Amino acid sequence: MSGLADILRGGVATAKRILGDGGLLASVYVRRTASPPTRNEDGTPKRPTRVRYDALVGKSNRLVRTAGGTEFVATSKITFLEPVILGAEDAVELPDGTIPTLQALGEGVQPALGGNLTTSVYCG
């Protein structure tokens, strides 16, 4: 099984390199929201951490069904070519500056292969 995992890991790394070299990956920013919110020493709320990732961003209307059976129209899909852990309260800022609502979080290639290799997010 580790041979297959190595092949898949290499394939994702190659895709990321080729897409990055071709300028097809967009910069998105993930803002982590601490739960519960943390505070600075003076009592003011800490701003969420903002981390930059390269991702594929596709904009289109698509009907998506969540694992819970809820259906919604996704207006964009973000695919990270690396494992990214997101929570429902986190925010993703797209290249155009918009911050869509995260509706469905998906894991990429099988966790049984030693962890996720990609992460997909549908936004509404």
Judged by average pLDDT, the poorest of 9-23, 27-41, 69-83 is 9-23
**3-state class of 59 per DSSP?**
strand
Given a cut of 80, whether residue 21 has pLDDT beyond it is no
Segment of 53-57, 79-83, 84-88, 106-110 carrying the highest mean pLDDT = 53-57
**Pairwise CA distance, residues 81 & 26, whole Å:** 11
Among residues 83, 107, 85, 10, the alpha carbon closest in space to that of 2 is found at: 10
Q: Which two tokens stand for residue 4?
A: 């297959």
Give the residue extent of every domain in the chain: 2-123
Question: Would you identify the CATH topology of the domain 2-123?
Answer: Thrombin, subunit H (2.40.10)
pTM assigned to the model: 0.71
**Pairwise CA distance, residues 119 & 102, whole Å:** 13
**Pairwise CA distance, residues 65 & 79, whole Å:** 17
Q: Which two tokens stand for residue 71?
A: 């259906």
pLDDT, position 12: 73
**Pairwise CA distance, residues 114 & 97, whole Å:** 34
**Pairwise CA distance, residues 28 & 54, whole Å:** 6
Band (pLDDT 50/70/90 cuts) for residue 29 is: very high
Given a cut of 70, whether residue 115 has pLDDT beyond it is no
| Average confidence score pLDDT of the chain | 78
pLDDT, position 64: 84
Given a cut of 80, whether residue 45 has pLDDT beyond it is no
Higher pLDDT, 16 or 84: 84
